Amino acid sequence: MLTWSDVTPKPLWLNRRQMIASAGAVAFASPVLAKIDAAKSPLSTTDTPNSFEEITTYNNFYEFGTGKEDPAANASALTTDPWSIEIGGMVDKPGTYDLADILKGQPLEERIYRFRCVEAWSMVVPWIGFQLSGLMNRVGVQPSAKYVAFETLVRPEEMPGQNSPLLDWPYREGLRLDEAMHPLTILATGLYGEVMPKQNGAPIRLVVPWKYGFKSIKSVVKISLTDAMPQTTWNMLQSSEYGFYSNVNPTVDHPRWSQASERRVGAGLFAGRQDTLMFNGYQDQVASLYAGQDLSKDF
Ligand SMILES: Nc1nc2c(c(=O)[nH]1)N[C@H]1C(S)=C(S)[C@@H](COP(=O)(O)O)O[C@H]1N2
Ligand SMILES: [Mo]
């Protein structure tokens, strides 16, 4: 059976700006950096991307600790090959799919997305990924399915944060089916043209750019189609602060802080804060999904 490393594209190209951006972090790993050759999606933002360094050293990945530097320091121990995802529930073709098999036939694209954490910081990330809808269509979503549930790997030997009951492991997330099928929703397998760094959720993680960052679950090993709204990690921990929808919404504050503005990571000490946009700026594409819903209740 093919493994992820067999299908990882070999060195292709590298432009000078990216070489400078990523040199400190990865250049030592190989003389020529492996690049994934993926066309840029028109769904990309024109905002300037954060640097590779910023994206890979300021992370939330509680399986590796709660500090922003912990994932970069601790994630190297994670084994990401072999990797498979168990896909089940209300699908025609349930099974445990090897990562290479999951990627088969799914067109990889570069998607430069704004990314907004619930902690009121933001980044711009050039992801490499494919639409979740492509995988859903391949496994055959049954008419009874209304939601998609996701789980992260549980492997405390390699994920030291899982040795404490800080969160109820596995990390869990969920989307309504129409959100999961939306063209903006991707499974990402890389960033900056590189195979996904471990601290960012290698080898495959969800990215939902109009929702707070915690919806974008990392290192996914299980996907289930259900007819009931799935349990989600942050909602289970504190339902008054974290709802199921978690759409970026500057008019609905977190009970302990404002969501009206955000700090762009790396923008510099004097850059100031910027206004947070409804649906993180993806209003034109996604507002219709929530027509008729009271977003102060469905937060
Ligand atoms: N499994 C798992 N996924 C996770 C998290 C986590 O702790 N564990 N943190 C979430 C949060 S709060 C954010 S902001 C993003 C951060 O993604 P990044 O580190 O790639 O920027 O990952 C999300 N996905
Ligand atoms: Mo977050």
Q: Which residues have C-beta within 8 Å of that of residue 244, sequence separation ≥ 6?
A: 174, 229, 232, 235, 298
What is the mean predicted confidence (pLDDT) over 150-169?
98
First to last CA, the chain: 43
In this prediction, residue 8 carries a pLDDT of 47
217: Cβ below 6 Å to ligand 1? yes
What is the pLDDT confidence band of residue 34, given thresholds at 50, 70 and 90? low
Confidence band for 146, pLDDT divided at 50, 70 and 90 = very high
**So what's the pLDDT on residue 37?**
83
- Tell me the two tokens of residue 249: 């919404």
The residue whose CB lies within 8 Å of the most ligand 1 atoms, and thus the one to mutate among 60, 159, 262, is 60
Atom of ligand 1 lying closest to residue 58 CA: 19
Q: What residue owns the CA closest to ligand 1's atom 16?
A: 60
Mean pLDDT of all residues in 208-222: 99
* Ligand 2 centroid distance, CA of 59 (Å): 9
Question: Looking at residue 245, what DSSP letter applies?
Answer: S
The finding on whether 218 has its CB within 6 A of some atom of ligand 1 is yes
Span from the CA of 85 to the centroid of ligand 2 (angstroms): 23
Q: Check pLDDT > 70 for residue 281.
A: yes
Q: Which atom of ligand 1 lies closest to the CA of 218? A: 3
Neighbours of 242 (CB within 10 A): 21
pLDDT above 60: residue 7: no
Residue nearest to atom 21 of ligand 1 (CA): 59
C-alpha–C-alpha distance, residues 11 and 36, integer Å: 8
Q: How far is CA 112 from the centre of its chain?
A: 12
Q: Per-residue pLDDT for 3 more than 60?
A: no
pLDDT at residue 264 greater than cutoff 70: yes
Is 222 near ligand 1, meaning CB less than 6 Å away?
Answer: no
The protein residues having their C-beta less than 5 angstroms from ligand 2 (an ion) are 60, 117-118, 213-214
Cα separation of 156 and 270, whole Å?
41
162 lines ligand 1 (CB under 6 A): no
Least confident of 30-34, 36-40, 168-172, 202-206: 30-34
- Across the chain, what does the average pLDDT equal? 91
Q: Is 44 exposed, middle or buried (CB count within 10 Å of its CB: 0-12, 13-18, 19+)?
A: middle
- Return the residue whose CA atom lies nearest to atom 5 of ligand 1: 61
- Give the model confidence (pLDDT) of 89-135 as tens digits: 999 999 999 999 999 999 999 999 999 999 999 999 999 999 999 99
Query: What pLDDT is recorded for position 270?
Result: 86
State the closest ligand 1 atom to the C-alpha of 115, by its place in the atom list counted from 1. Answer: 21
Residue owning the nearest CA to atom 11 of ligand 1: 214
The CA 201 to ligand 1 mean position distance, Å, reads: 8
How far apart CA 287 and CA 73 sit, in angstroms, is 38
The answer to whether the peptide bond before residue 203 is cis (omega within 30 degrees of 0) is: yes
